[in-house]
Amino acid sequence: MEAVGNRWCDGSATVAEEHAATELLRELLAHLLPGLAWHQGGPRAVVACVPGERHVLGARLVSQVLALDGWHVRFLGADTPAGDLASFVAREQPLFVGLSVSMPDNVLGARRTLEQVHAAAPHIPLVVGGRVASSLTPEVPGAWKVLRSTTEMLSLTRGEVGGALHPG
């Protein structure tokens, strides 16, 4: 999918071709993981896409990986408004929040969302990932963490780096 996304970015693949590849992978996953149990008793996490972001496959995959690793995941999907996400996080009090951003046009909205969620729940760790997440270094050190891979996320949630998020 990374190669498909890169081809779309450089103009050698159309939006329709990218959508076809995304839907094929989504259907494959639905067949491979038909009974995926979204744990109800595990530690809670919230995963969402930033405002304007309609590319949900990466965030959905992260949600599924976390669920398979024992997390109770609330996946909010595409284009989640910053204020609504901040209120949701403050009310639900998850152990951490993951945000996805893949399009350059959504970086400013992503930064505003991260800042708003951090202000509403400063004690809840925030992570951001996606193709353009590396441009979202926080101005306030420690306000959020930029992750480059699902492996980095699992290292964090399992306590291999930066302290355990997963209790027990």
pLDDT tens-digit readout, 65-77? 888 888 888 999 9
Q: Are 5 and 21 in contact (CB under 8 A)?
A: no
User: What number of other Cβ atoms are within 10 A of residue 2's Cβ?
Assistant: 8
Cα 162 from Cα 155, distance rounded (Å): 9
Q: Which residues pair with residue 77 across a beta bridge?
A: 48
In this prediction, residue 34 carries a pLDDT of 53
The length of the chain is 168
In this prediction, residue 167 carries a pLDDT of 46
In this prediction, residue 76 carries a pLDDT of 92
Low-confidence ranges of the chain (pLDDT < 50): 36, 161-163, 167-168
Residue type at 138? P
In this prediction, residue 168 carries a pLDDT of 45
